[in-house]
Chain A
Amino acid sequence: MERKHFIPGLNFEGLATDPNTLAAFRTLLASIKQAKWDVTKAEETTKDGLSGLILTMNDGKSDPS
């Protein structure tokens, strides 16, 4: 099943230039992995007027619905 998670304010430049943001992002990736999701895609986007990074993840299972 696919799942998307939006983090407002995050972008690639922020990850590339701010060590604190990168460290927090790495912690998030570890947490996602622990929750048994695999991040398959990350892209900058705008949602509800806010720019940010949207993570697409998959758990490798079929959609129960």
Chain B
Amino acid sequence: MPYNKRSTILALLTAAALSGCSTPKHTDLLVFGTNTQFGVALTSDATSTPGVNIGYKRYELVLMPLYVNAKESRFAPSTPTSPTDTDKLKYVGSEATTPAATDTYSVLASFGARGSANTSGTAEVGIAQYFATGLAARTLAYAGGALINTGDKASENAPETAKAAAAAAGAESPVVIALKASANRFTAEGQIMDEFSKLDDIRKNSFLAKLNQGINRTNGSNAVTAANMQQQLSSMNDAEIAYAALLIKNP
């Protein structure tokens, strides 16, 4: 197909597609979009140092109306006679200061991230991102700018202050508590497995017999054996794990 013919068809298709789009509700829009990708990678060495890989993606799109859509708004004058009438259709943020402050619609959005990880050096990632308009932008410019570090380390003042206050009070977040509880559980399982592997056969059998008796797993299908012990430990409740941890000390 000749090139100019293809171009014509493409142009017609594009025109058709555009004409098929509906008219947006607001034609006076501020459009702001970002795409953030965050990554932290921890590597593991041969001695089984654990690794962490964190991937984080974020897409933001702000469609902020600046004016009430005049054609559909009940506030719109039927016959605007002056620029003042049009100004009444603006979205405005106001603050009860002296003198009263007004500006465009007030929006503040922020994203902060920090990563520090490695086993052989230092790998640090920091992202701080702010989007602000109107009075929020003014406040950020007057007071917040000095508190925001957008260098190689990310920082958001408010969350950091909250975290610092929580740390000072000795408080731990629920997720940290959950992580520590999980770590304790896996540590107990690992210690039981390690201790079990050090026992001779007579003591292994003694441990298994006592354990199955104590946690009522004498049924052949659910009994703990040397072959299935790791899987059985993972299915035990915390009380059963505690019993096994005590028993392995004196099988």
Contact = CB atoms under 8 A, between A and B. Distances in A.
Contact of A35 (B114, B115, B116, B186): B186
Contact count band on B: 35 or more
A26 B50 CA distance: 7
12 contacts: A1-B230, A7-B175, A16-B115, A22-B52, A24-B179, A24-B180, A27-B183, A28-B186, A30-B49, A34-B187, A35-B190, A59-B231
Query: Interface size bucket, A side?
Result: 35 or more
Given A12-B54, A26-B42, A33-B48, A7 B231 contact: no
Contacts of B227: 64
Interface of A: 1, 3, 5, 7-10, 12-22, 24-37, 59, 61, 63-64
A44 B111 CA distance: 19
Nearest to A25: B179
B116 A19 contact: yes
Given A16-B56, A35-B193, A21 B113 contact: no
Nearest to B163: A18
Contact of A5 (B51, B173, B182, B187): B182
A12 B56 contact: yes
A16 B38 contact: yes
Contacts of B206: none
Given A7-B182, A24-B176, A31 B190 contact: yes
Contact of A29 (B52, B56, B116): B52
